[in-house]
Structure 1
Amino acid sequence: MENQIQESGTPETPPVDPAIPDVPAPTRAPRRRGRTTLLIAAALVLGAAAGTVTGYAVQYQRPPTALPPLAQQKLDTPKALAPNDTTTAKSVNATRWHKTDGDLTELLLPVPDGAKAEGAGYIPLDAFAVGYFQEPGGALADFAEGRIRRVASTSWTQGQVHAEIQLVQFRERAGAEDFQRGQSEYMPEADFAGNRGVAIPGVTPDLGHVWVDAKADGVHGARALARRGDIVVDIHYYEDHGKIAEADVIDLAKKQLERL
């Protein structure tokens, strides 16, 4: 019945028609950014650009400002001199001169006190090749290409000890590296030192090494090879009927390296 009231006194809830879909409540559209903010930002950008252009234009129209005068109007420079009889390679290349470019024999260790000097000076390259290589002809051809620059040597005898120091200088550092490597590779063989030797303290093993012969028939021998720049230090040390102290050879090599 129409307008029928339940006994409890509350009105009936009208039935929901399933054919009618639920419609969601409308959402509020986002608020658009105000035009005032955009106008202010654009004005700032245009103002900065206009100010920069105006500054350049004003500066361009101004006359150039003269720089203040130098405290010394004319600098005194040494006058170039023509070569004469006193001109040397050292005076021409003073800024690039190294002590190893001078007299190499002056860098050799002096003969110890009480020792007998056996000789000092430069060794001809042919004599050097004969003393070092099994095939001197091939070595001499290699020298002719300009790899070795010169060889300085000194030697002395003190009691039962005989020592010889050679400074082998190459025209390029690569030549010194190859020579030292080639000489060091065969030293551990049985026909030579017969052991791996020891490194010279203060330098890496590839830059300085000492070998004392493992076997000796009468005369004991030792050798030191070290490299500094384009120079290879080669020390031959012998002692008659006595055991060589490894420390003595190392000390000799270190003193020679300090002079280079």
Structure 2
Amino acid sequence: MAPGRRRRRTVGLVAGAAVLGVVAGVCTGYVIQAGRKPTPLPPLSQPVVRQAKGAPEPLSAAQDRQVKTEGDLRKLLLKAPGGARDNPLGEGRDGWMSLSEYAETFDKPDVAFRAQLRSQFRRAAVTAWRTGGTRLVEVRLVQYRQEESMAASQQADNGEYWAEREPGNHGWAIPGTDDGMAYADSTPDRKSGYLPVYSAEAYAWRGDITVEIFAYDTSPIPKKDIMDLAERQVGRL
């Protein structure tokens, strides 16, 4: 089950949508295949491929992505820009978020906690900063064990699912990702006695890690700002 929307939504619909999408795709495939002419089978005799001699050379540390992701995950986080200050609303401690702290970022923490346990949550690294007078940014890398499912991609899909249903959100594909998306809200949240707050967010995944980026400001956040954060963070993985 998906963990749902951050402090604003409930869980469940994205999981159902994903299942329905898979079923619809399978049924469509069967219908198309049934209408095609039979494909001749290849001959049973095939040329013999000689086995190469020697063992393949191991990947260097720069090429082996697992060397990066098995180390200190905080080192893969984006660095705060020059002149940035601490984000007073940043989550976590010393660059880490526990499972309980991560679950608290969702609308229903108890449901999110159980969902993350089922998804084999491993650890989460976080960084946050403030620029200018009002721009707040938070970046998270959430890592999963992935012994039973592709939890990282499912987590990114969940974030995208709810972001696309937020009124006023506009979305763009993140270059260099399979299906990562960035969003910026043209409609601010308004509360009596407070300045309007605009938001932007981005979700992507690579291997066993989900990228989550959130930005808030009292003026609209340009597309180029959230896209730049997303592309640079994905590029570090």
TM-score, with structure 1 as normaliser: 0.57
Equivalent position of 1:188 in the other structure: 164
Equivalent position of 1:246 in the other structure: 223
Judged with a 3 Å threshold, the aligned counterparts in structure 2 of structure 1 residues 112 and 197 are, in CA distance, closer, same or farther, namely: same
Per-residue deviation, 1:193: 5.1
Identity score, percent? 37
Equivalent position of 1:147 in the other structure: 120
Q: Which moved more, 1:110-119 or 1:216-225?
A: 110-119
Equivalent position of 1:214 in the other structure: 186
Structure 1 stretches of 4+ with a deviation exceeding 6 A read none
1:165 matched to 2:161? The reply is: no
Per-residue deviation, 1:157: 0.2
Distance 1:123 1:258 in 2: 22
Per-residue deviation, 1:145: 4.1
Equivalent position of 1:117 in the other structure: 86
Equivalent position of 1:237 in the other structure: 215
* Aligned residue pair count: 160
Judged with a 3 Å threshold, the aligned counterparts in structure 2 of structure 1 residues 258 and 187 are, in CA distance, closer, same or farther, namely: same
Judged with a 3 Å threshold, the aligned counterparts in structure 2 of structure 1 residues 221 and 196 are, in CA distance, closer, same or farther, namely: closer
Per-residue deviation, 1:169: 0.7
> Any unmatched runs of 5+ in structure 1?
1-94
Larger radius of gyration: 1
Judged with a 3 Å threshold, the aligned counterparts in structure 2 of structure 1 residues 200 and 238 are, in CA distance, closer, same or farther, namely: same
Judged with a 3 Å threshold, the aligned counterparts in structure 2 of structure 1 residues 96 and 247 are, in CA distance, closer, same or farther, namely: closer
Judged with a 3 Å threshold, the aligned counterparts in structure 2 of structure 1 residues 247 and 171 are, in CA distance, closer, same or farther, namely: same
Judged with a 3 Å threshold, the aligned counterparts in structure 2 of structure 1 residues 116 and 178 are, in CA distance, closer, same or farther, namely: same
1:102 matched to 2:80? The reply is: no
Alignment of 1:80-99 (within 5 A): 97-99=66-68
Root mean square deviation of aligned Cα: 2.0
Distance 2:226 2:65 in 1: 33
Checking the alignment, whether the CA contact within 8 Å between 1:111 and 1:117 is kept in structure 2 is no
Distance 2:153 2:167 in 1: 21
